[in-house]
Chains A and B, each alone.
Chain A
Amino acid sequence: MKEIKRVARMFLPQDYDKEEKFLSQMSLQGWHFIHFHPPVSYEFEKTQPKPYVYKLDFRNKKEDDIRSCIEMYEECGWEHVQEFRVFWGVWEYFRKESVYGEEKELFSDNESKIEMLTRIRRFYLFLGLFLLGINAVNFVNIMNLISRGFMSGLIALFIYGALISLYVKIYVSVSVKIDRLKRV
């Protein structure tokens, strides 16, 4: 009988490196990542503890040939675990058993690390603006509700503000990471 566990955890694009560590630590305890059900559910299966290294890559379907990207990773010994799509963006999850002396990073130079972060920043900036754009009509409605004194308008405005600050937070955090790498 397979032992399955689900863990609730919010996926934040700017914290993908914490995500990698979290999945690697779970593997050390014998809980191996099977699937991520967006937005907050991680599924794990219990087997022998193994020192897996998990890594995430972010790609843009419009710019990258995802298939040949995954093939290249597999060629280099990475196992493709999961693909998590967000519109035209894709998060690719890979893992590899940790062997002493073997390369455990997907990106070995600063340039390619910065490129990945830039892909993340650009995508979430566009996504944020896109969502804001298609919700412009709702925004007008919300303002109408508020002006007529409806509580629901205020609640909707609050959700709006929270979403906008989430996207601003992503942009700022990723930018900080990029700047840190550029200073090296």
Chain B
Amino acid sequence: MNSYEAIKAYIPMSETAYYILLSLTSPNHGYGIMQHVEELTSNRISLGAGTLYGSISKMERDGIIRFIDEQNKRKTYVITALGKDVLKTEIARITELYLNSRGVMEQ
């Protein structure tokens, strides 16, 4: 996938994909991602193992994350340059949403 295709395929991003990608800005493994997302969202989002597996294998196939190594049957992944492009674009979109909604409810 090139940057254009990846952005088209992934944006707008599901919460699941967004938080997984955010967790992989530094190398992490499946269970680590799950815990990280629970911490970030105060347990609002608890990723299921199947959801995690599906997202990770799809993202790896599309080249937005890559496999680094395996220790004790735990596979570690990290975001790629392509993944960073996608994540930056999504962050810009979310920031726009946020800025546009600021103050609206106070009126």
A: residues with CB less than 8 A from B are: 57, 64-65, 68-69, 71-78, 101-103, 105-109, 111-112, 115-116
Contacts and interface: CB of A to CB of B under 8 A. Distances in A.
A154 B8 CA distance: 56
Contacts of A78: 49
Contacts of A103: 34, 46-49
B52 interface: yes
A127 B46 CA distance: 35
B16 A76 contact: no
Nearest to A57: B50
Nearest to B75: A68
B78 interface: no
Contacts of A72: 30, 49, 52-53, 56, 75
21 contacts: A69-B57, A71-B74, A71-B75, A72-B30, A72-B56, A75-B31, A75-B74, A76-B34, A101-B43, A102-B46, A103-B34, A107-B48, A108-B45, A108-B46, A108-B48, A108-B51, A109-B16, A111-B14, A111-B16, A112-B48, A116-B50
B80 interface: no
